[in-house]
Amino acid sequence: MSEEKNRHIAFICSKGDLDMAYPALIMGWAALGDGIDVTIFFTFWGLDLVTEKRVDRLEIAPVANTSFKMSMMGLPTGNWGIPNIMGIIPGMSAFATWFMKMKMKALGVPPVREYMEMLSDAGANMYGCKMTVDMFDIKDEDFLPCIDKVVTASDFMDMTDGAQIVFI
């Protein structure tokens, strides 16, 4: 009798914006809760999610973010492109970041750093992209403890053979 292999999902995090951090974290946590193996690969600006200097300074940028809705702040939007117009106002990124963090906290959603710890403690495997680490001159000591190691894209592909891969 052959042993059945556990389901496996892998996320590639390539963006360092606050609103792009949560999809992989939330889905990864849900997958772990369902007994699914989780691997997360951080590349390019996605490395901001797992570096000490950046993890607590992630922002949401309303400029050129076509999905950013001012209506989430209780402001009417219509179809006039108000999110992009409002985004050019000085301090709007800081306001949007504060607002999103406040909404997430009210929902009981942990900050990114805490989510990383939770995922690591629950058994998620997390890796930094070697090419990006070399390109940005990131050192091992710059990473949060949740990073298992730095691997090449090829290594990541080998580790996640047969996994469902989600690119964020």
pLDDT the model gives residue 81 = 47
The Cα–Cα gap between 112 and 18 comes to 8
pTM metric for this prediction:
0.85
- The span from the first CA to the last CA of the chain, in angstroms, equals 38
Single out the residue of 64, 55, 69 nearest to residue 25, CA to CA: 55
Question: What CATH number should be reported for the domain whose range is 8-167?
Answer: 3.40.1260.10
DSSP 17: S
Q: What is the pLDDT along the chain (168 residues), one digit of tens a residue?
A: 556 778 999 999 999 999 999 999 999 999 999 999 999 999 999 999 999 999 999 998 776 565 665 545 555 454 444 455 666 677 888 888 888 899 999 999 999 999 999 999 999 999 999 999 999 999 999 999 999 999 999 999 999 999 999 999
Q: Is there a contact between 79 and 64 (Cβ–Cβ < 8 Å)?
A: no
Q: Is there a contact between 100 and 120 (Cβ–Cβ < 8 Å)?
A: no
Q: Where are the domains of the chain?
A: 8-167
Q: How many CA atoms lie within 13 A of 113 on its CB side?
A: 12
Determine the 3-state secondary structure of 12 from DSSP: strand
The Cα–Cα gap between 143 and 128 comes to 9
For the residues of 54-93, what is the DSSP string, one character each? TGGG-----TT-TT--GGGGT---TTS-HHHHHHTSTTHH
